[in-house]
Structure 1
Amino acid sequence: MTVLKVAVAGASGRMGQMLVEAISADDDLQLTGALDVAGSPALGVDAGAFLGKPAGVKIEADLSTALANADFLIDFTRPEGTLKHLAYCAEHGIKMIIGTTGFDDAGKAAIAAAAEKTAIVFAPNMSVGVNVTLKLLEMAAKSFATGYDIEIIEAHHRHKVDAPSGTALKMGEVVADALGRDLNEVGVFAREGVTGERDPSSIGFATIRGGDIVGDHTVLFAGIGERVEISHKSSSRVTYAHGSLRAARFLADKSTGLFDMFDVLNLR
């Protein structure tokens, strides 16, 4: 059995620790590196210490040290940090699984360019359930092309810094593409005051932030006399971790290329 050597960025954070735990539980994966930002109090600490069983890997800020023995890097950090990691991984042929959200067009272009040098799975949500939901939305949107108003409601914990969430935007993109629309033109991200009647071609977004909500997403198709809601609710970040590990296994035989979870789950 081939063992995949994986490093985790943001290893002391909530998602990072979930990834460390998931990797430690799988026989075909080995944690070989753990990254955190310079100045983090976790630097020098064993990445598995929170589990009560050392992983034998210390959390480092230096990329060359943390990634010296890694073939894969899983990154759920911030765009600026991910792009720094991306440049190093592209140069050294380290494959990446990127779950970071909030990239601008330049950041997305940098990821696409790096994929010419190494293999990357880039998705706003690594959950298997979310990606199956995206496929369902694609199918539903085609049936609700006329006579239905489309609204996307998402809720996350108080610490999330970007809005709407990357998953909500991806849902909007999937629906818009299925309808032959451009989300940049039809997306409505704020309503206040006298807004006038709703444009029937628009796709609205509503954002909720509070407490410890892991992630709730609902797409509402509201017609006359009925409404259809397609929802996904996350109760634990473990689903993102498990999806990320499936993405790593998918990349095992890839040397270059940009992929997403539809590729990983064969949902094309």
Structure 2
Amino acid sequence: RTIEEAAQSLPIVFASNFSVGVNVLSWLTRKAAELLGRDFDPEIIETHHKMKKDAPSGTAKTLAEILKTVRETKKDVPIQSIREGDVVGEHTVIFSGPGERLELTHRAASREIFARGALRAAQWIIGKPAGRYSMQDVLGL
């Protein structure tokens, strides 16, 4: 049974990342891209512990897709992936423009943040009608 099929009969919060901060970063990334326009070139730098196998991370790919959608382009957003030490997770979205640069960064200090976000989603979804929801819905973004 697929998630879409299940969402026809029960409410589901589907997210690649349940961190509240990462979901706010996603929202801020969308807004910054809309406001800054094509004069600013985006780039993503993501860092995780040296044992993480995927590079770039799912979160970095999601941020890149947001940027591609807002900018209405098929051109890939550059992603730099770093694997070192015991870093839980860090994502920086950089907008480089003429004479200035904006950086939006989220740093996860503990994996507990993912559980806290999932609990928040579980509490929020109680009593909701069947459907597929996102963490953006949970946070009211």
Assess same fold via TM > 0.5.
yes
Distance 1:179 1:149 in 2: 10
What is the deviation of 1:204?
0.8
Aligned counterpart in structure 2 of residue 146 of structure 1, from 38, 61, 66: 38
Q: Does 2:110 align with 1:236?
A: yes
Q: 2:38–2:71: 8 Å Cα contact kept in structure 1?
A: no
Aligned counterpart in structure 1 of residue 124 of structure 2, from 235, 245, 250: 250
- Which whole-Å deviations, capped at 9, do the CAs of 1:150-195 have from their partners, x for residues lacking one? 11111111222222111111211222222233xxx322xxxxxxxx
Q: Does 2:4 align with 1:112?
A: yes
Q: Does 2:56 align with 1:160?
A: no
Which secondary structure does the structure 2 equivalent of 1:161 belong to? coil
Unaligned segments of structure 2, at least 5 residues: none
Distance 1:217 1:224 in 2: 23
- Give the number of the structure whose residues are more often helix, by fraction: 2
Which secondary structure does the structure 2 equivalent of 1:221 belong to? strand
- Which whole-Å deviations, capped at 9, do the CAs of 1:21-47 have from their partners, x for residues lacking one? xxxxxxxxxxxxxxxxxxxxxxxxxxx
User: For residue 101 of structure 2, what is the aligned residue in structure 1?
Assistant: 227
User: For residue 139 of structure 2, what is the aligned residue in structure 1?
Assistant: 265
Aligned counterpart in structure 1 of residue 13 of structure 2, from 121, 125, 131: 121
User: For residue 135 of structure 1, what is the aligned residue in structure 2?
Assistant: 27
Q: What TM-score do the two structures reach when normalised by structure 2?
A: 0.90
User: For residue 72 of structure 1, what is the aligned residue in structure 2?
Assistant: none
Distance 2:65 2:131 in 1: 22
Letter in 2 for 1:175: L
Runs of 4+ in 1 over 3 A off after TM superposition: none
Residue 151 and residue 258 in structure 1: after superposition, are their counterparts in 2 closer, same or farther (change >3 A)? same
User: For residue 215 of structure 1, what is the aligned residue in structure 2?
Assistant: 89
The sequence identity of aligned pairs, in percent, is: 45
User: For residue 98 of structure 1, what is the aligned residue in structure 2?
Assistant: none
Distance 1:125 1:238 in 2: 12
Distance 2:131 2:75 in 1: 30
Distance 2:94 2:129 in 1: 40
Distance 1:113 1:210 in 2: 39
Q: Which has the larger radius of gyration?
A: 1
Letter in 1 for 2:105: S
Distance 2:13 2:58 in 1: 15
Q: Over the residues paired in the alignment, what is the CA RMSD in angstroms?
A: 1.6
User: For residue 171 of structure 1, what is the aligned residue in structure 2?
Assistant: 63
Number of equivalent positions: 141
What is the deviation of 1:255?
5.1
Q: Does 2:80 align with 1:206?
A: yes
- Which whole-Å deviations, capped at 9, do the CAs of 1:176-228 have from their partners, x for residues lacking one? 222233xxx322xxxxxxxxxxxxxxx11111112211000001111122111
